[in-house]
Structure formats: structure tokens, C-alpha cells
Structure 1
């Protein structure tokens, strides 16, 4: 996993935890109350709320139903929510598939092979 992917996942997990906590506080339930309704240990739910654990999809569904929170908003997909982490797109995700395949192949090559290909690419670029 790339560092940028990890940071994005962490931001998602923190955003989700904040949304869960806010929804729980509106219901005036304790963490134990939510954990019981969802079927997880109180400690597990606490880790989710603190942004240290991403719930499974079935548990996310149960949490959203129990807390009456919209899953899109909880995940930061609601445009009105304004989640900053969503605005930070991974620049590599916009590359065309052919370029991504080429980069994957290049990563498998040794230093000498990369040097040869680099020289070839520079030559092609100069004559284009």
C-alpha cells in the first residue's frame, strides 16, 4: 500500500469515527449502548469512534442503522459535508490504464534495464 493510500484511509477512518461519535452523542447513548446494538465489544466500538479502526461493511451498515446516520455522510461522500480528505485525490489514480500498466512493468526491471529504457525514452522524446 502506498503512503498516500494509507493517509487517505486514515483520514477516512478518522472522519467516520467523528461522524459516529457525533451521531452517538445526539442519541445520548454511551459507547456501550451502541456496541450492544451493533454486536461488537465496547472497546472495538471505541476504537472505531477514535478513528483507530475501520468497521467492516456489515458493521458499518449496522452502525448507520442504529445511529440513524446516512452512510454517505459518515463516509464523507455527501457534498454538503465538505470532507477535506476527499478533495485530496491521488494523482496516480488519474493516469490512463496503459500508463499504469507500463509503470507496473518498469518497477519490475533492474537498474541496468531502467537506464537503457530511460535513454531510449529520452531519444524518442527529443525526436518527437
Structure 2
């Protein structure tokens, strides 16, 4: 389970529920969940399934972007570029994917090879 995602969804759901002046039991009933399960979602203890996420959006009257932390309550997007690969060429991204799978000894060896190639 992605704990950061679970926490983000839980906080957004709780905030939307409170804005709508609903109880956890109200929302649980609206989305066809047991109250305890909905409580776990709000506390970040679980990530809801996609169908449940859709029902939550409808019940809480918020966008999936807001529930997933991609937008604020005002609808402003909070998207960011993928880390470390912004604007990189496809060939460089392919090399980075391979590098992430190597152990430290292999990376040191590859570093020496890269230095030798640079001298040529």
C-alpha cells in the first residue's frame, strides 16, 4: 500500500466530508461501505478501490484530482514533473532505468568506463 497516497486520500475525504457537514456514517452509507472501513480510509489506513473512489467523489462532491491530491479544493492543479528525468532524451531515460537496477559495484565499474570513454 502506498502510505502517502492513502494519507492524501484520507485527508481530502475528511476535509470534503466536514465541508459538507456529513458524518462518517453518512458517507459510508452513501458509498455502500461499513462505517469502520470508511474510517480507515479517512485515517489513511487503506487505499480505496477505483469503484469506491468514484463513489466517494460523487458522495463528497469533489473531483478525483482533489481526492488524489492532484488539485486543491479550488480546482487548481498541483501537478509536477517526474523527478530527475525532466526534459531528458529517451536514450538517457533508458540508460537511467538500467542504472537503477545495478548494484554499487557495477555502478563504480560503469563510472570508470564512462570516464575512460570521455577521455577519448
TM-score, length-scaled by structure 2: 0.70
Normalized per residue, the structure richer in helix is 1
Distance in 1 separating the partners of 2:5 and 2:77: 9
Q: How far 1:59 sits from its partner (Å)?
A: 0.8
Structure 1, unpaired ranges of 5+? 1-5
Q: Do structure 1's residue 11 and structure 2's residue 4 form an aligned pair?
A: yes
TM-score, length-scaled by structure 1: 0.67
Q: Do structure 1's residue 92 and structure 2's residue 92 form an aligned pair?
A: no
1:71 aligns with 64
Q: CA RMSD in A?
A: 3.0
Q: 1:13 to 1:114 in 2, by over 3 A?
A: closer
Q: For residues 8-60 of structure 1, give each alpha carbon's deviation from its aligned partner in whole angstroms, at most 9, with x where no partner exists.
A: x5333323212211221233322122112112222221111112222122111
1:3 aligns with none
1:27–1:67 contact (8 Å) kept in structure 2: yes
Structure 2, unpaired ranges of 5+? none
1:76–1:82 contact (8 Å) kept in structure 2: no
Aligned residues: 117
Out of 13, 35, 52, the position equivalent to 1:42 is 35
Q: 1:59 to 1:93 in 2, by over 3 A?
A: farther
